Structures are given as structure tokens and as C-alpha cells.
Amino acid sequence: MSVEPEKSLTIADNRLAGSSQCMNCGTELQGPFCHYCGQPDKNFMRFFPVLLRELLEDFLDFDSRFMRTIKPLLFKPGKLTRDYLDGRRFRYVPPLRLYIFSSIAFFFLVTILSGDWVTITDGSSGDEEVITAIEIGTEEANETNEDPDDENIFTFNDKPWDRETNPLIIPMVPEWVNEWVNDEIAESPQKGREIEANPDLMRDKVFELLPAMMFVLLPLVALLFKFWYLFAGKYYIEHLIYALHIHSFLFVVLMFMILANSLAGWQEPSEEGPITTAATWVNVIAGTWIPVYLLLSLKSVYQQGWGMTILKFSCIGISYLMLLTIATTFVALLGFVLL
């Protein structure tokens, strides 16, 4: 008994080249895709406006896979991971691509919505205007009243730090590390004054580093799952795929929350009104759904009993928060160093 293929996973008849053999490798075709090299039997030699229209359709529809991915990603905990591990992969956006897309969108949104609000007074009318995203030039750092000679704000061995007479020496580390640390200490007072004059400097540097930090964190998160499910009989890559999916879910949900709060703050600065109420409900529902979703996805993917799943959910949650705290602290310090 033959199974009718899902129409959304095939190529429309008007897009087919109609070849009996693959034009790339010459293999006899048994469908719209070559089973040997994978090239689709598409006809690109057509009227340009038609091709342009189809290109726009593919772009807006993300080859139909994005729309088939977003629903289970948000509302069916664990389904994407289970389907992917069971071999039902082509209908969905690949896990790594989904993570990269969602993380870029999230951090881009956070960056453009994180501008400072500066209040200024119009001297002629006395009214206040709120202006967003005003960049304060770093030259303001030179207008500070700090004494430029007051550099020694660090003490070691009960004495003020001095590069020559009282440097910081960390035992059992290479000499270049101690040199680097003392270089940073020497520059810290000036950096501190620059950050005080323009807080955006530190924020922007941290936002530059956060996406890379989260990406580097993924293999460690997968190791957490591997550790807590050591006897589950799963390969490391399976834990990594699950980590990609849950982080993609978190990025998308957090984007909805940020957009709702930003819209409410923009339309209703007084924090009263229907939009503010709706944003509050979005936060409540999303804040409740996130832990419930993560628990249900853990149960779906690893298929253990509820007691063991809840126990491991708690252990993984604590371990993840500790790891995230360490990584965030490291990024903040690194951001200060790289200013």
C-alpha cells in the first residue's frame, strides 16, 4: 500500500523541470528530488517576474518549514526534539539554524530597545520632552572633576597598588597573565570615569559579547543534560539538539514579552490602560508557561516518570542558573577589560 506524500513537502507541478534524469548527476529520478545527490528537479528557465514572485513566496514562507516549526516550538513541548530524533526532520527548520535565527532576532531586539531615556527641559515653555537613543559622546569623560593624579584606588598587601613597587602577583600563573592583569588595573580608573560619563559603553560591550557567550554555553548545557541523564542511553548530540530547541523557545517567548512591554511603555507611559493590561497578561502567561513548558519537554524527550522528571528538572534548573550566573559575570568582567 503506497503512502501519499505530504503536499507541503513536494514541489508544485508548475515548478518542475519535467526531467527523467537528474541534471546534476544523471541518476534516474523517482520524484521531484534526486535520491542520489539531492538536487531538486526545478525549472529556473522561466519568465523572470514569475521566478521573482516565487522567490518572494519562498522568502516570506521560509520554504513552509518556519511556519511548521514555530507552532510546535511554542505550544508542543518536546515535539520538535522527538520528531527530529525519530527522523522526521525535513519538515522543520534545522535546530542550529533555528537557534541562530532566534538568537540574532532576540539580541537585535534587545539592543535596539535598550536605549536610555533622557529627560530635558525646554527653557521657553517649561515642558519636558522625552528623547530616546541619545548617544552621549565619550568626550564627556574629559569634563569630569576627578583629579587625574588620583589613580591608586586599589590596595594590595595593605598598600596602594603600584605597577613597579606593589604590583598584583597571582601565584602559579604565567608571567604574561600577571602583566595583563596589572595593565588592566592601571587602566581601570580611566575606564571607570568613561563608563560613569557614558554608561552605554559598558552596556554595548556586554551586548556584543552575550550572543557569543550563549553560543559557547550551549555545549556546556548539553553536558548538564548528559550528566543528569547519564544512563538514559542517549548520545551527546541528542542532548545538544534538545538544548538548541529549548533555547530557541526561550528566545522567541522573551521576544514576545519584550515587544509587549515596549509597546505598552510607548503607547501608555502612565502605565495605565488596555495595552498595559494586555502586556501584564502576556508577562503572566509567558512567565507561567516557560517553566511548565520546560518540565513537559523534559518529560516528552527523556520519557521518564513524573517523580524522576521533576527531581531532575529541579537539579538541572539549579545547575543551569549557576552556570548562567558564572558566564554572565565573566562576560561583564570581559566587557570591562575590552573597553
Question: What is the model's pLDDT at position 160?
Answer: 74
Question: What is the model's pLDDT at position 54?
Answer: 62
Question: What is the model's pLDDT at position 154?
Answer: 57
d(CA 152, CA 169): 17
Question: What is the model's pLDDT at position 127?
Answer: 42
Which class for 339: exposed (0-12), middle (13-18), buried (19 or more C-beta within 10 A)? Answer: middle
Cα 121 to Cα 230, 270, 302, 332, distances in angstroms: 62, 19, 59, 34
Question: What is the model's pLDDT at position 198?
Answer: 76
Rounded to two decimals, what is the model's pTM? 0.69
d(CA 203, CA 141): 16
**Kind of pairing between the strands at 155-156 and 128-132:** unpaired
Query: What is the percent of the chain with per-residue pLDDT over 90, rounded to a whole number?
Result: 38
- Tell me the pLDDT of the chain averaged across its residues: 78
Cα 91 to Cα 42, 66, 85, 216, distances in angstroms: 19, 9, 13, 27
Question: What is the model's pLDDT at position 48?
Answer: 65
Q: How many helices (H) and strands (E) does the chain have?
A: 9, 4
Residues of the chain with pLDDT under 50: 1, 116-152
Question: What is the model's pLDDT at position 174?
Answer: 66
